[in-house]
Every structure is written in structure tokens, then in C-alpha cells.
Structure 1
């Protein structure tokens, strides 16, 4: 891994910057330019995230003109990772999912400048859209983002009937006619009788892929990742939905506010609000498959021996820039202790999950 981070230079007129600041709670973009590798791109930039917009170091969404695609994409996300003392948990998680053979966005730490002023280390995240599929040689298909906790695969949320079966989802790729497939999936999950459920659901989702995603979410312990922070892609060749991770900074032992999360907080079956997890794990053959999948991961990949070769290079790569980051440089002692905190979480979480495997019999 190269220890030299790419540098992105945002050039924005003062009136556009003031306009952007006035739109703090909105997704409305303003015009600007982005210089990367001596090439200047015309862009639209907006803030991204929900509660993170209130932080001093904010995250951005950048759109490029179609005629000026940047690295073969039309949109990127620049995450501030403000509450993660390590700044590596999101990338560490997404790379972990890739190792699990789960579709996952590419990510890269970068140095971010605005009008010549260094604004710190950011994480460049690939957008999950039609170009994401094209880049991987995957067939076209609709993609939905789970944008709130209504995306729980149930007919209700917080004990109240949902206004629509598609509540909680935003289609970012595909046509309105594709919505019938997601509608049908949620209907199948909630109305199919138990004797027919295994066959019916196997025709709607990629079961093996889903359990690899569930194992990854359970290991990394993203409490928000079961009813939020995921995307659904329907492969038009197989007709099956696949699930993808998104926004995994609150993982590896840290909460969304940056505090310590107890290694037992998320149960082995995942967060109880995800109704799909619940109904799948009622089926003995599916429960056995999940147990076998998780057992293998706990022995081979969710270990300190495996993950230290991921954690340490990432940590060492960005450390020189953390010393210059205006939002992080005063907390370098905390940053330096993060690898061991992550490793201790892996040890404790691994032991806990191995003990809980008995519950999956």
C-alpha cells in the first residue's frame, strides 16, 4: 500500500460556498471545480449525511458531468469520518465485505483541500449505481438505498403499519416498473406460509450472499446496518436480490458517537428489527447455512492474525496526514491506540460469537 495519499483540491467561489452553507440541511448542490492529478473537473457539490451535517468537519457528495466522468464514475462521496478516532473503520469494513465476496463499494483515503486550505483526511467512497454494476461486469438491475428504519423488511415499523411497502427505500437505479420486484419481495417475506417460505424466498433473494452479508454485519457490529445503511440490487440475470453494505464507520467496537460499544451489544442473529433475518433463521436449513458461514469466517477472517494485515497498513498510511488534520491532530494519542482497541474488539467479539453458535443449532 502506498503511503502517499491522493490530494483533491476543491475550488469554490465565496458566494457559492456561502450558498452551500445556507443549504446545510438540504441536498441542493452548488457549482465548483475539483482538481485531481492535474485535471480540473466541473462539479456540483452538496453536503451529505444526516446528523453528521452538524459536525465541524462535514461530508460531501460530488457529481461530475457525464462528459467528464471521473475514474469512470459520475458521483463520489467524501466522508469526513469525524466521529471515528481511527478514520479507518468504514474502509476496513467495506474491504472486509469484499473479502467475504459481498458486493461492496471501493474506498480510498485522500487529502482534501478547499481553496488551498487543508481540510483533513477524507474517505472517498464509490457510489452504488449503474456504473458500479458496469464496472464489475454485472447485469443491469434496480438499486435501492435503505434510507431509514422503515427499510426493515416488515409491514410495520415501531408497531405502526407502514404507509407503503416501499417505505424506507429510495430507488437510485432502474425504472418505476422495477418497484414491483421489491414490493413482491417484502410481500413474500411477510405473507408466505412457513411450509412454502424456503422455496418462495429462494426465488427472490440470493440466500448464500445474504448470509455472508449478515455474518459481516454481525462480526463488525454495525448496529445501524440491519434496518438502515444498506443497499439492495436485483440481478436481472438471476432475478435475485443481493444486499450491499454502506456507511460502516460505527463498527469494530465504536458507536456512532465515537464511544465504546460493548462487544456483546449486537446478537448473533443480528438486530431484532430486521424481519428478514428473523424469518430466514426460523428455517432449519437456512439456520444451518448461516451457522456454517459464520463458523468459517470466525476461523479464517474475523481474527487478529488476518485483520492486522489490513488494520496496520491503513493506520500507518494516514498517520502522517492525521498530524496535519485540523480536526484530528490534537487527538493523535487516541489515534495511535486505535489498532489495539480494534484488535481487542476482534478477540472479544470472536469469543462471544463462537460461544453463541450453540444458539444456532
Structure 2
């Protein structure tokens, strides 16, 4: 049974034992931001009664599972495309009510919000999916699963009274309820993320960073710029500029690896640091092969990484580690991530990466994820120094122990130089920033209060200026580090 139906049953049971109901709650930040009526008396029950429809826009190229992912169409580099999401008023209200049950009333932040801020609610539950129509280039996709997505960014945006929330789209989530959409795809994609560019007033960091990783030979999601309009009963409402991001467990492992049948993990929690003794199956969340309770590949990385041969026989240690972990890809990732800077990932935070065990190689490869905080010094303790002098090696041994090894350190240093030579320097990045700024400025500055992270339209250009300065500073930092 779907989560929403389960919630309703619980609410009904509760009402049998409680004669009093809470007053209706009405919360708004602007006239256009309405999250009214979260009373349990009017809780929405999903019946999936709207099954009488024809999929008149369906074609093999646009809707069928048989189509290859059309990356050029969906992630066009120099375009801002438009997505329209149409949700019934009842389903939209159910989504808002569910958010209230997870995170409290809309717009009632007491912690000041912001990335890494305190006062966040701990929950393992995802927001509910509801069926919605998605429109793109005059074509309709039917009964698409739509939900809000994110962790601290979702909660902070919600509690700060901002409806520019990230979405996850799953194009055949409801195929059991609506047989007409069996194996529905969006130009070959089953799942996509619409990210709201949280804490990024330039609105381009997510795309720029993931492109840099991929250009440097690290598997990473494709991304593109989109304007998003949501019609939840009263016509389309402009939700702002989003970054559409390819899902790792959908097409990234399918198109960027030779075999997509291996174990894919999305670690989250203390054990994701790889500190000695911290392994826990619950931390290494499986995104493929979920029914197979086999974590031996991850456990092998822990064993090899913490072997005493690291100090007694480094060559044997490296050989053992490389049998299960793709150190070359990790060092490439590490060089890019440390040069461009990103505090919200491994080395500071125990999340925002995937590990994929390609059956053809039988080694785990690192895949970066969630790059909206990249290309800046960052929050919390800030981004890591190029020499990792601010890192506790035992707490973050994948960085600390590899950097302490003279062979791996030399390899990392070479990649750091390659990064600024080939994918990240002022002559490459500043024209790209200018192109993207010109491209999205009309849409970014058209965002409205209640659906934006900008305090004024000038914030957008100021953020672009910061990116231009940042790349110059980072190239200089690399020069100082390597001299």
C-alpha cells in the first residue's frame, strides 16, 4: 500500500480515540504561496480513480523503455528548457500535508536555516509520491510520480517559507495503478531530479561541477537548466530556475560503465567515513541488488584500507586495495573536488557520493553527487586544503591514508596539475560562466518572492562575479601548493 494510504489509516485510527481535532492551519509567506488546510479531518485519500485516459502523445522515441537515453535532447548545454508539472489540488495539498507531518509547519524556521544549520528534524522517510502530468515541448507524460526531494536543503527551504523545493520525477512509479504507462520513460530516462539550486545564487554550480568531473574522466551525472512551472489547481505558477540532474541509479551506471548489474551504494552516516570499525550495512544503502544482503565488497575495502601492511609493506597494501577499490578514479575525483572546492561531501560530510561495483572489473568506483555547494570555500569547517593539513587522516582514511602514501600522493599531485591545465582555469571557466549567465539571467532575475533564494536581482550577477574570482584564486592556490 502506498505511503499516503497508510498515513490515512493511521489518522482514522487516531480519530477514533480522540474526539478533538486541531484547528485548520493556514500558512503563507506571500500571496502566491499557499499551504492551507492541513487538518486531519480533511486528509486526502488516494483512490487512483482517474484511470480513464489515452496516452495520445506516446511515441517510442519519447516515452518507450526501448529508447536509449537522449542526453543531447534533455541535457542540452546552452539552453534553458521548460518543464510544466500539473498536479490536482487535492494531491498537491496531500504533498504539503505530508511535508508538515515530516518537518513541521511551512515557514516556521527557528534555527535560521542555511546549510549545515542546527535544529533540523531527523527522519528516514522520504516525502510521498503523487501522480502528476508532466509537459515538455508540447508533449505530455502521464501519471508521473512526483515528490519533493532532499535532506537538510529540503527541510531548510520548507521551514524558511520558500516553495522553490526540489522534486524527484519517476516516470513509471505508478505503472501498477495506471497500466497505460507501463515502463514509461522520458526520452529514455526513468528517473530524474529537479534540483532547486539551494544556497547557489548563481544557479549554475551543480551543472558546472558535474561537467568538470565528467570532463576529467570521473563518471558523473549530466545536468541541464530548466524553468519549472507547477499548476496545482489555479494555473501554472513559476517556481524558478532548476537544474535537471541525471540519476546515478538510472542511466549513469547504464551509460558510463560497461555493465550495469553490479552493486550500487549511496552511503549516508558515520560508516560512510570509512573510519576503522565504523562499517554498518544500514549506512551503505543499496540502490541496486537490494534483495541480496551481500556487502562483502564494501567490507573488503575496509579490510584492505586498514590493513597493517599500509605501514609495513606499502606496495602490498596498494596492491590489495586496488583489487577492490578503484584508486585511480578516486584520486582523479579527489583532485577535482579539492581544486574546485566542495565542502558538502567526503572529508567533511558523510554523504553525497555513490560507490559502484562494475562486474566487469570487480572494483568499486567513486561517483560524486550533489554539487550545488561546489565552487566556493563553503560552510562548516570549509573546503579541504590541497595538502589536507586540516584533515584527520584516521577519521577520513580514504583521503588521509592515500595521501600519506608517497605513490598515491604523487599521483594526486599530478592530477591536481592536470585539473588546472585541462578543465579548470580562468581561460576556460570565465567564458563558460559568462555564457551561462547570459543564458539564464532573464529567468533567474524573473524569480519571485516565495520561490527564490535571491534577495534581489543583483544577487545573481554578484554570484557570477564570485565564481570568476574563485577560479583565479584556485589556480593560484594550486601553483603555490605544487611549487
Task: Provide Cα deviations, 1:88-143, integer angstroms capped at 9, x if missing partner.
Answer: 01111001101111000010110100111111111111100153222336212211
CA gap of 1:73–1:212, structure 2 versus 1, over 3 A, is: same
Q: TM-score, normalised by structure 1?
A: 0.89
Among 270, 283, 292, the alignment partner of 1:168 is: 283
- Mapped to 1, the partners of 2:185 and 2:428 lie a distance apart of 36
- Mapped to 1, the partners of 2:294 and 2:428 lie a distance apart of 40
- Mapped to 2, the partners of 1:134 and 1:268 lie a distance apart of 33
Q: What corresponds to 1:63 in structure 2?
A: 170
Q: What corresponds to 2:446 in structure 1?
A: 324
CA gap of 1:236–1:309, structure 2 versus 1, over 3 A, is: farther
Q: What corresponds to 2:264 in structure 1?
A: 143
Secondary structure of residue in 2 paired with 1:209? helix
Asked if 1:201 corresponds to 2:321, the answer is yes
Q: CA deviation at 1:47?
A: 1.3
Aligned ranges for residues 1-361 of structure 1 at < 5 Å?
A: 4-24=79-99, 25=102, 26-27=125-126, 28-41=128-141, 42-53=143-154, 54-55=156-157, 56=162, 57-65=164-172, 67-115=183-231, 116-136=236-256, 138-140=258-260, 141-155=262-276, 162=278, 164-175=279-290, 176-194=292-310, 195=313, 196-226=316-346, 227-253=350-376, 255=378, 265-270=383-388, 271-272=391-392, 273-326=395-448, 327=452, 331-357=456-482
Q: TM-score, normalised by structure 2?
A: 0.67
Name stretches of at least 5 consecutive residues in structure 1 with no aligned partner.
Answer: 157-161
- Mapped to 2, the partners of 1:210 and 1:97 lie a distance apart of 11
- Mapped to 2, the partners of 1:167 and 1:216 lie a distance apart of 29
- Mapped to 2, the partners of 1:186 and 1:290 lie a distance apart of 21
- Mapped to 2, the partners of 1:96 and 1:4 lie a distance apart of 18
- Mapped to 1, the partners of 2:446 and 2:215 lie a distance apart of 32
More strand, by proportion: 1
User: Is the contact between residue 62 and residue 75 of structure 1 (CA under 8 Å) also seen in structure 2?
Assistant: yes
Moved over 4 A (4+): 1-4
User: Is the contact between residue 258 and residue 360 of structure 2 (CA under 8 Å) also seen in structure 1?
Assistant: no
Q: CA deviation at 1:237?
A: 0.7
Q: CA deviation at 1:235?
A: 1.3
Q: How many aligned positions are there?
A: 347
User: Is the contact between residue 153 and residue 276 of structure 1 (CA under 8 Å) also seen in structure 2?
Assistant: yes
CA gap of 1:231–1:40, structure 2 versus 1, over 3 A, is: same
Query: Which one has the largest radius of gyration?
Result: 2
Calculate the aligned-residue CA RMSD, in Å: 2.2
User: Is the contact between residue 9 and residue 34 of structure 1 (CA under 8 Å) also seen in structure 2?
Assistant: yes
- Mapped to 1, the partners of 2:273 and 2:482 lie a distance apart of 24
Q: What corresponds to 2:73 in structure 1?
A: none
CA gap of 1:345–1:137, structure 2 versus 1, over 3 A, is: closer
